[in-house]
Amino acid sequence: MTSVPDRLSAALAGSPLCVGIDPHAGELAAWGLEDTAAGARAFADRVLTAVAASPARIVKPQVALFERFGSAGFAVLEEVLADARGAGLFTIADAKRGDIGSTMSGYASAWVRRGSPLRADAVTVSPYLGFGSLAPVLDLLDDEDAMAFVLALTSNPSGPDVQHARGADGESVGGAILRDAAEASATRPGRIGAVVGATIGSAADDLGIDLGSFPGPILTPGYGAQGAGAADLLALFGPIARDRRLLVNASRGVSSAGPSTEALTGRIAELTGELLGGLGVD
């Protein structure tokens, strides 16, 4: 059976695009859907149908936007993840979980273990209780054939308050997280990625971080509707972009073409073409 990292590599061979499934209230209203769990399900179904017919093979449901509907929303998310698996798509649960001890073990069981209804191929995790707090998730990745993407340098306005701060040795917090993730990846090849915002500008250079040396894949939000273009991605990530290890997330940039599934598929194909051309990959 093909491993999860190999499935990701195969998906990226066709398109670097990671299609976000983000049922915001405004998005649902724009599609004429109710702001309910049923509306979120209809929204997600159309996105999945469009992705399945497109060059893109990666989807990223935003967990919070299902969770806001309570148990009904989680039931929809379980169905969405199952349907995506059935369509042969690579799934990333954007859960951003981070805690310590038995609590983090609980999150690991929910999002990483085979057989869990919330199981995804990969999950986003937060290291801001210390990188060691991620151990319950990271220690399961090989046995459960899963991946994790570690938040490192985000582009929200207050992110730099923590991520750009420097320790006594002069290393930034974000730089230390990327270093720790790279070291953890050495014993789990291909299973640990990072999350770095596409709109961080010169922050990596300013902090002395060589993003191109990171050994795993990088998930980058901020393309399109949030302001970053292909030239920005190439300048920021360099070899990672050219080596097909960059997952470029687009949510509103895709859903704004809806609600027609044909229009959504067309937008995904258009964005894929823009990215492949702009990043200089065949």
Active site residues: 96
Assess contact for 128 and 151: CB atoms under 8 A: yes
